[in-house]
Amino acid sequence: MSQTLAFDVYGTLIDTSGVVQELTDLMGDLAPRFSQRWREKQLEYSFRRGLMQAYQDFSVCTEEALVYVCRELSVPLSEQQMKQLLASYRKLPAFPDAHQALPQLQALGHKMYAFSNGLALDVETLLLHAGVDHYFMDIISADEIRTFKPDPAIYHHFMKRSETPAKHCWLISGNPFDLLGAAAVGFRTAWIRRNPALPFDPWGVEPDLTSSSLTELEHAAGLHQ
């Protein structure tokens, strides 16, 4: 029986560190730290807005995080430079393994969706630029219900939109917070462990699968037909 695969986008399919080269041109050796902090604050702001029920879309969280990190690290970017960086964030590259894994999983007959906190149009632009848009049946965005992962409502929204019960849904993500949120409502979960130095959150719940690469999913128990 085919499964419904919900692919997280940022940090799973799309490499958010892909902006480092452009940052390097602006700030030299500070670029990797700046990129990491930008991503951390982007997620933090989405969590805080979700808890506060003070929704602004993910692009706003991204822009506010950029402004914050410029101030935190004393990087005086001009308004034009910040606009260019935000534009680049909509054209990040896919991880190399996505180009190999997605057609393999599609050939197995799984129903595949891009599932993201990002605006559907931004996600569509990202996937199109990365050359992986055609593997997905649809894009399901948290913006549709105006909150953010890991709010349980988002995973229930995915089930409704995909017309799939939780027991046949897999969340595939590089982000432990996302996997824990999905597991809490009954999804099966696959952790793409992009950074081998980082442990999974010690909450007493482990992913059903852990892999260093998307390409290993083709032969994973429960996904290989």
Q: Which amino acids are annotated catalytic?
A: 8
CA distance 127 to 178: 20
CA distance 94 to 85: 17
Q: What is the DSSP string of the chain?
A: ---EEEE--BTTTB-GGGGHHHHHHHHGGGHHHHHHHHHHHHHHHHHHHHHHT----HHHHHHHHHHHHHHHTT----HHHHHHHHHHTTSPPBPHHHHHHHHHHHHTT-EEEEEESS-HHHHHHHHHHHT-GGG-SEEEEGGGGT--TT-HHHHHHHHHHHT--GGGEEEEES-HHHHHHHHTTT-EEEEE-S-TTSPPP-SS---SEEESSGGGGGGSTTT--
Largest CA distance in the chain: 54
